[in-house]
Amino acid sequence: MATYSRLPGSVALITLQNPPVNALSAAVRQGIVDTVQRALKDPKVTSVVICGQNGKFCGGADIREFAGPMLGPPLVPMIHAIEAVDKPVAAAIEGVALGGGLELALGCHYRIAHSKALLGLPEVTLGLLPGAGGSQRLPRLIGLTAALDLITTGRQHDSSFFSSLHLLCVCSQSISSVCVSGQSLDSRRLSTLPCPCPPDVDSLLDKTMVKVRQRSRGALAPVACVQALMAAASLPYTQGMEKERDLLTTLFNSGQARALQYAFFSQRVVGKWSLPSGASWDNSAARTISKAAVIGLGTMGRGIVVALALTGISVVAVETQEKQLAEASQVVPAMLQREAGRRSLATPPGVISFSSNLQDVCEVELVIEAVFEDMSLKLQVFRHLTSVCRPGTLLCSNTSGLDIDRLAAVTQSPGLVVGMHFFAPAHVMKLLEVVYGPRSSPEAVATAMQLGKRMGKVSVAVGNCPGFVGNRMLKPYLEQANFLLEEGATPQQVDEVLEEFGFPMGVFRMSDLSGLDVGWRIRKEAGLTGPGVESTRTRQGRRYSPLPDQVCEAGRLGQKTGRGWYQYDGPGGRVARSDHWVNIFLEAYRAEHGLVARSIAPEEILERCLYALINEGFNILQDAMAAGPEDIDAIYVFGYGWPRHHGGPMFHAGQVGLGRILERLQHHHHNHPDVPHLKPSTLLRRLVAVGSPPVQKWREFINKERVHS
């Protein structure tokens, strides 16, 4: 709703009230319409100020209402009516003015903001465009070039940025005194102004369209944003608004908008974690960490040190190899400075000390181990840690998939051991899997989750199983990609299909980037390859492809060696080019194993890679290793490059149709009975049997089934 009050004198104050962000729900819109009418009718009122309750102007349209029928007064005519009134109306912006919130402010005659307020039009991130006049009014105010950047990226900035674009009349530490009466309003109505465009407007629009198409990989909204701004540049306001409405209608009804809105809410759902034990975010206290240690300063350890230091935590960074320690003590401060600069921090808040002595961690409150992925080494480190650290210190491992409980078992306080699985580069990637073992205490999980949040990560609590959630699902995906090569595909063909779907990189380009030796080492540990293991295509009772092992044996470890599934300009090269060697190698391999290459359709490539991954997601839900589909989807969107406009693997399964996924898995499993990952999960079958409920209902269904079983 919106409340009305008369300030001493002649100013009417309208306050938006819809906690927590004063989103423009039907009740708020009705409240605005009513209170503006009241201000107009009151002869003592000469000017109007609109603000938001609790120091927040407005977070935009109420996204929760998008799923239902449109109720209450629509936004566009409401904002038009405000712009048209003959008493001056000012938006007094504190906290946030986002999306429809900023569009409401653009309909006012004046905008005044607190210096710390955050403004922007993030609709594109929800699969929409600013559809309440924002795509037409903003460029008229700040010019086409700046509007294109803001609207196609959804970027948010503080008031000083917008002051320099003349979007704000006043930007100050205090917005308590606002007086806007007495001036003519003619030039204050943005819809009546021309749109300032650069001389080369067509070229600007063309270039932006090309850039947006490249960056958005199949996403509809950024393209529609450019089209709306083309209309702003070339058409009168009324026709521009018609174009905005048509584009919005198309986007609004698209699966992509639903997927992106689901992704917005899943990011928030995962913060409200719960464990099978009943422990959850609202009944478990977290400790506040101010001193931490990182053990092992390789690829991951370095990034973790930077992420902690940026949060204001003092870090003891320990490395036993002299050369690595010397290199890290040069590289890490530089990484920290760079990242602090990128985040506009004057000085990095945390202090880092480097050491080769594990004894130096004795004063810290939390340790993150990031040594090689080798269980016996990690056990040794954990034994050592538990003897040198103060009682009560949290001991965490960055393992990519080893058993957290085995590590806990060698410590004095197994309840204080959890996994904190970061993703490379750890100071940049948004995802953190917090792995709880059967003995991890709620306090340890709560502390790791909160620490992740402080570091700006999307933290997801996951159960302790090989590979946890993300890597467990990646395994069948990689496996299918290798099988497809055996059957006749090339790495480029597979990658193109996956990139067309929206992944920033196909599976083979991604493997080259991460380093092919990572998986090779894991397979050796698992006894799947290495000296003495016979080179067959069936290992440990299931189909196995020795292809990636053989590529590593040829010294091709990916970008780092300048060769992998592709060739690069040299070691460390970034541009992947197809390599004739790989084609010859694949032909020889097929000949050796009596395989006849066949032409494989893009649909088969996509189905086998994605549906095998999705199927494992259902197994994970069934095993209670993830609390709900939102957790899996957040992991894939924030950690594995799953295209956000497809929501996440589990959401995508729902959009494709669970019946269809089941039928295709059955088909592929029939053709490949020696691939257990293609055997449809029991949970998938059960969901189909009860009529394929929407993804939002799965958590409830799974919990009910669990209670009954």
Question: Can you read off the two tokens belonging to residue 544?
Answer: 């196995």
Span of 116-124, 316-324, 611-619, 644-652 interacting with ligand NAI by CB under 6 A: 316-324
- Applying the rule CB under 6 A, the residues between 122 and 181 that interact with ligand 3HC are 122-123, 126, 128, 130-132, 134
Q: Is 298 in the site for ligand NAI (CB under 6 A)?
A: yes
Choose the contact partner of 514 out of ligand NAI, ligand 3HC, none; CB within 5 to 8 A by kind. Answer: ligand NAI
Q: Is 64 in the site for ligand 3HC (CB under 6 A)?
A: yes
> To the nearest whole angstrom, how small is the minimum distance from the Cβ of residue 585 to ligand 3HC?
48
Question: Can you read off the two tokens belonging to residue 475?
Answer: 């395994």
Backbone angles phi, psi at 97, to 5 degrees: -135, 95
Number of residues binding to ligand 3HC, judged by CB under 6 A:
24
Q: Is 295 in the site for ligand NAI (CB under 6 A)?
A: yes
Q: Is 641 in the site for ligand NAI (CB under 6 A)?
A: no
Q: Which residues pair with 112 in a beta bridge?
A: 92, 170
Q: Which amino acid is at 592?
A: E
Question: Mapped to the 3 state alphabet, what secondary structure does 49-68 carry?
Answer: EEEEHHHCCECCECHHHHHC
Tell me which residue has its CB nearest to ligand NAI. 298
- Applying the rule CB under 6 A, the residues between 324 and 383 that interact with ligand NAI are 324, 370-373, 377, 381
Q: Which residues of 118-157 are buried (b: 16+ CB within 10 A; e: fewer)?
A: bbbbbbbbbbbbbbbbbbbbbbbbbbbebbbebbbbbebe
Residue 103 annotated in active site: yes
Choose the contact partner of 324 out of ligand 3HC, ligand NAI, none; CB within 5 to 8 A by kind. Answer: ligand NAI
3-state secondary structure at position 693: coil
Nearest to ligand NAI of 331, 377 (CB atom): 377
| The only residue of 153, 514, 622, 666 in contact with ligand NAI, by rule CB under 6 A | 514
Span of 39-47, 111-119, 210-218, 393-401 interacting with ligand NAI by CB under 6 A: 393-401
> Who's near 11: CB < 8 A, 6+ residues apart?
45, 46, 47, 48, 49, 178, 179, 181
Span of 193-201, 314-322, 553-561, 588-596 interacting with ligand NAI by CB under 6 A: 314-322
Q: Which of 83, 103, 339, 369 is catalytic?
A: 103
Residue whose token pair is 């974690």: 273
> To the nearest whole angstrom, how small is the minimum distance from the Cβ of residue 425 to ligand NAI?
9
| The only residue of 1, 235, 275, 424 in contact with ligand NAI, by rule CB under 6 A | 424
Q: Is 300 in the site for ligand NAI (CB under 6 A)?
A: yes
- Applying the rule CB under 6 A, the residues between 251 and 270 that interact with ligand 3HC are 268
- Applying the rule CB under 6 A, the residues between 355 and 384 that interact with ligand 3HC are none
3-state secondary structure at position 661: helix
Nearest to ligand NAI of 321, 538 (CB atom): 321
Choose the contact partner of 63 out of ligand NAI, ligand 3HC, none; CB within 5 to 8 A by kind. Answer: ligand 3HC
Give, in order, the Cα–Cα distances in Å from 539 to each of 308, 400, 431, 542.
Answer: 42, 23, 33, 6
Q: What gap in Å lies between CA 231 and CA 236, rounded to an integer?
A: 8
Q: Which of 322, 387, 397, 321 is nearest to 359 (CA)?
A: 387
Question: Can you read off the two tokens belonging to residue 436?
Answer: 């709880």
Tell me which residue has its CB nearest to ligand 3HC. 99
| The only residue of 31, 52, 59, 639 in contact with ligand 3HC, by rule CB under 6 A | 59
Nearest to ligand NAI of 34, 525 (CB atom): 525
Q: What gap in Å lies between CA 178 and CA 347, rounded to an integer?
A: 36
524: enclosing H helix or E strand: helix 516-525
Q: Which residues pair with 683 in a beta bridge?
A: none
Backbone angles phi, psi at 473, to 5 degrees: -75, -25
DSSP states of 225-275 as a string?
Answer: HHHHHHHHHHS-HHHHHHHHHHHHHHHHTSHHHHHHHHHHHHHHHTTS-B-
| The only residue of 11, 16, 21, 148 in contact with ligand 3HC, by rule CB under 6 A | 21
Cβ 461 vs Cβ 273: under 8 Å: yes
Q: What gap in Å lies between CA 367 and CA 359, rounded to an integer?
A: 12
Nearest to ligand 3HC of 11, 75 (CB atom): 75
Q: Is 296 in the site for ligand NAI (CB under 6 A)?
A: yes
Nearest to ligand NAI of 175, 297 (CB atom): 297
Query: In the chain, how many H helices and how many E strands?
Result: 27, 19
Residue whose token pair is 């992944």: 503
Nearest to ligand 3HC of 135, 386 (CB atom): 135
| The only residue of 31, 60, 639, 648 in contact with ligand 3HC, by rule CB under 6 A | 60
Q: Is 99 in the site for ligand 3HC (CB under 6 A)?
A: yes
Q: What gap in Å lies between CA 239 and CA 81, rounded to an integer?
A: 18
Opening angle at CA 490, ends 488 and 491, nearest 5: 140
| Contact string 216-255 vs ligand 3HC (x = CB under 6 A) | ----------------------------------------
**Count of CB atoms within 10 A of residue 362's CB?**
14
Residue whose token pair is 């492809």: 545
| The only residue of 54, 249, 277, 321 in contact with ligand NAI, by rule CB under 6 A | 321
Nearest to ligand NAI of 123, 319 (CB atom): 319
Cβ 317 vs Cβ 355: under 8 Å: yes
> To the nearest whole angstrom, how small is the minimum distance from the Cβ of residue 63 to ligand 3HC?
4
Residue 123 annotated in active site: yes
> To the nearest whole angstrom, how small is the minimum distance from the Cβ of residue 323 to ligand NAI?
9
Dmax of the chain from CA atoms? 94
Nearest to ligand 3HC of 18, 681 (CB atom): 18
Q: Is 622 in the site for ligand NAI (CB under 6 A)?
A: no
Cβ 560 vs Cβ 573: under 8 Å: no
Choose the contact partner of 495 out of ligand 3HC, ligand NAI, none; CB within 5 to 8 A by kind. Answer: none
| The only residue of 2, 14, 16, 23 in contact with ligand 3HC, by rule CB under 6 A | 23
Nearest to ligand 3HC of 130, 470 (CB atom): 130
Q: Which of 708, 595, 603 is nearest to 660 (CA)?
A: 603
Q: Which of 83, 94, 123, 604 is catalytic?
A: 123
Cβ 554 vs Cβ 567: under 8 Å: no
Q: Is 20 in the site for ligand 3HC (CB under 6 A)?
A: yes
Number of residues binding to ligand NAI, judged by CB under 6 A:
26
* List of residues contacting ligand 3HC (CB under 6 A): 20-21, 23, 59-64, 75, 96, 98-100, 103, 122-123, 126, 128, 130-132, 134, 268
Residues known to be catalytic = 103, 123
* List of residues contacting ligand NAI (CB under 6 A): 295-301, 318-321, 324, 370-373, 377, 381, 398-400, 421-424, 514
